[in-house]
Amino acid sequence: MTAPFPEPHFAISLYCSDFRNPAPQVEYLNTVADTYHVDIMDGHFSPSMGLCTSWIEQILPLSTLRNEVHMMVTDPDHWIDQLVAAGATMLTPHVESLGAHAFRTLRIIRENGCGAGIAVNPLTSFAECEMLLERVDLVTVMTVEIGYSGEPLIPETLRKIEQLARFRDEHGLNYEIQIDGSCNEKNFKTMREAGADTFVLGNTGIFKRDPDIRKAWAMTLDAYEQATGEKTANNR
């Protein structure tokens, strides 16, 4: 199977981090994780509100990892300049909000020096994102409904992960398949077997395991390895 890297990668959802004192968590996770996953929500496209740009501006300078912003917003173009200025290195708008100007928005993201991703909601079909796949570095598959932390996996989304992995192989592409939603020991194995490269770790993935982020991280890696039988490269 063609993939951007052979081992699983882990993205940390800053939306689930300790807002009272995030710096120590970020400083440790810099040494072990692969990506920070940053949720922006406008209260329109998503029923919830995500991280504000002023908070992001304060926290991302502490990051030494890739800073990927998941844009759960109605008008992605409105946010690009703000997020680039705040420290984003990859921007991931939703297919459902790109509309008729999808190619233009992805081009603008790249012109701003960022990687370009797309995200797809559970009900959005593979066919609706197929034309964009040659233009992106990352595809985020939502395996839960957006705006609701802690929701169970929607198993029908596994079929879309398989389609994305198959299309990548058949066309010699190299986009990363990232899974957002219910990434934990209940689902790691089926997600990985479907073709997942990167797992977004939120409350059930890491932060609710233990208040000590070092212990929580060790528990997460152990949970992944026990569930999949696959060793990771992140225990460094």
Token pair of 14, please?
A: 């800053």
Burial class (CB in 10 A: 0-12, 13-18, 19+), 229: exposed
Tell me the backbone φ, ψ of residue 148, rounded to 5 degrees: -130, 105
Is-contact 45 73, C-beta < 8 A? Answer: yes
> Is 39 part of the annotated catalytic residue set?
yes
Tell me the backbone φ, ψ of residue 31, rounded to 5 degrees: -90, -10
Q: In angstroms, rounded to a whole number, what is the distance separating the alpha carbons of residues 68 and 89?
A: 6
Give the helix/strand (H/E) hosting 10. Answer: strand 9-13
Q: What 8-state DSSP symbol labels residue 221?
A: H
Q: In angstroms, rounded to a whole number, what is the distance separating the alpha carbons of residues 166 and 102?
A: 23
Written as one letter, the residue type at 182 is: S
Helix, strand, or coil here: 236? coil
Q: What 8-state DSSP symbol labels residue 190?
A: H
Which one from 34, 39, 137, 197 is the annotated catalytic residue?
A: 39
Task: Tell me how far apart the 2 most distant CA atoms of the chain are, in Å.
Answer: 46
> Is 180 part of the annotated catalytic residue set?
yes
Token pair of 213, please?
A: 């982020």
Which one from 34, 137, 180, 197 is the annotated catalytic residue?
A: 180
Known catalytic residues?
39, 180
